[in-house]
Copies of this chain bind each other. A is one copy, B any other.
Amino acid sequence: MPRPRRNAPAKVERIALGDLRPDTEALLGRVAYLKLALFESASAVAGRATDLGDREAITRVAAAVLDQHSELTALIEARGAVSAAAMHPFTADIDRYRRRLADSGWHESVLTLHLSAGLLDDFFAGLAAGLPEPDARRVVPILQRDIGHDALVAVLEQGLAVDERLGSRLALWGRRLVGDTLLVARSALADVRDAAGQPASTEARRVEPILNDLIAAHTRRMDRLGLTA
């Protein structure tokens, strides 16, 4: 059997998110739209809360996500671009993602918010580290900021404490959503090159180590809730 063309498989393991060279405007547009979509989901989840304290807690998460969106669109506008135009190429993908995760129970939606924001903030903060300066140091802190995950975990723990069957439902949901969420990350690699100028998406196995880190962090989030990832 012919061997794979590449001769240095050891190097494959070394690729890291920060080694990639994303396009600033594409990254800003994509993440700004993602944050807009996540904000709308968060405020809808807040509106469906039966407990007013939970509703306020999740509204604060929505507010934090909205701040991220607003700061990203401000960066787009500061570059002389129109934020709606910069976001537009990414709406279809992200809308599809959102539709796939809609129509779930309320606790499932809270879990989506926690896991999806967690995974994608990790991913895009790592990717933004590879932006040219001063873009990297402007974008990375926005995405590293905590949107209030502890509050979401507290809401979920409260639900898990009173409903015995919720644990297995949420475990199932967490496993389902991680696949869809990784697709959102993966599609962002389509407009990225690595430091050597190679398109990052053309060779899937070079990207796998990056995704493995994201999955490991996802598993830790599930563990914290006592859920099997």
A52 beta carbon closer than 8 Å to chain B: yes
Task: List B contacts of A87 (CB < 8 A).
Answer: 52
9 residue pairs, one from A and one from B, having the closest CB atoms: A52-B84, A43-B43, A40-B47, A53-B84, A63-B66, A40-B43, A56-B84, A52-B88, A52-B87
Number of copies: 2
Question: Of residues A55, A56, A70, A73, which shows the largest number of chain B Cβ atoms within 10 Å of its Cβ?
Answer: A56
Q: Which residue of B lies closest to A86 (CB)?
A: B52
B36 touches A40 (CB 8 A): no
Task: List B contacts of A47 (CB < 8 A).
Answer: 40, 44
A144 beta carbon closer than 8 Å to chain B: no
**Known A-B contacts A43-B43, A44-B44; A36 and B55 likewise in contact (beta carbons under 8 Å):** yes
A91 beta carbon closer than 8 Å to chain B: yes
CA distance A83 to B60 in the complex (A): 13
B59 touches A36 (CB 8 A): yes
Q: Which residue of B lies closest to A85 (CB)?
A: B52
Least CB distance, A76 to chain B, in whole angstroms: 11
Task: List B contacts of A39 (CB < 8 A).
Answer: 43, 59
Give the residues from 186 to 226 in chain A that come closer than 8 angstroms, CB to CB, to chain B.
none
